Structure 1
């Protein structure tokens, strides 16, 4: 089957760079599947799960808190602040971080709109993390 290059980059380092058959990304507009030859675009990512398919099977599932993806016919580059494999994403830690984010969002009620929206996006991302976490 045809492949394209998937690159996953965090602020610290290149986390993944290899040919894959398909990737599903959590775009703000909804889940987006990317195959080789996809139309070029840049999309904003929300908190959610990146699913990687290789050799006809899902090989990786990664939680991403948000970021951007640049899609071209031969490559997908994902720029993310936080990436964690679901198998090592702790439910207890995610729930603790969610409680902190909810408190911060409540405190941001009187802040400018951009700050309130960022706080709310963080809450939504951490709700997703708590719901998909696979580690204790």
Structure 2
């Protein structure tokens, strides 16, 4: 049996997960990363994507996260998401609202650098939308 560690997924609205887990797959900004027990201390930003959690029971749960940070220690991992929902609760309206808000932010961007960053986020969000809700 794999070693377990404490995991929490927190958004401004609520605590989504606080469990003992054996594995967490995080959509980190520089690439997907797997966290296991006794992981080296790391802090990373996360991009819009699917966060996968494997509970001690073996059950796998998936959450859609919309950016944030992950704080990883040998004893546990905490993800502070800008926003997050269980994957089964993600729907087309949720994505459409976020995409429209991002488009409005792009048109109001004060600098080219900020606009480029927002356009990149829009591309990631659009890709996530199509990969989770095809068709």
TM-score bracket for this pair, using the shorter chain length: 0.7 to 0.9
Q: Residues 108 and 119 of structure 1 are in contact (CA less than 8 Å); yes or no, is this contact kept in structure 2?
A: no
For 2:25, the equivalent position in structure 1 comes to 24
Which segment is superposed worse, 123-132 or 59-68? 123-132
**Where does residue 6 of structure 1 map in the other structure?**
7
> Which position in structure 2 is the counterpart of 1:119?
118
Greater CA drift, 56-65 or 78-87: 56-65
Tell which deviates more after alignment, 4-13 or 52-61.
Answer: 52-61
| Count of residues paired in the alignment | 134
Rounded to whole Å, the distance in 2 between the matches of 1:75 and 1:25 is 14
Q: Is the 8 A contact 1:9 1:78 kept in 2?
A: yes
Distance in 1, matches of 2:8 and 2:133, equals 24
Q: What residue number does 2:64 align with?
A: 63
Contact 1:47–1:124, Cα closer than 8 Å, also in 2: no
Shift of 1:19: 0.4
Asked whether the 8 Å contact 2:20–2:56 carries over to 1, the reply is no
CA distance in 2, matches of 1:13, 1:114: 32
Check conservation: 1:88, 1:134, Cα contact below 8 A.
no
CA distance 1:8–1:93, change in 2 (3 Å): closer
Displacement of 1:116:
1.7
Aligned 8 A contact 1:41 1:72 in 2:
yes
Name the residue aligned to 1:48: 49
Distance in 1, matches of 2:116 and 2:49, equals 17
* SS of residue matched to 1:11: coil
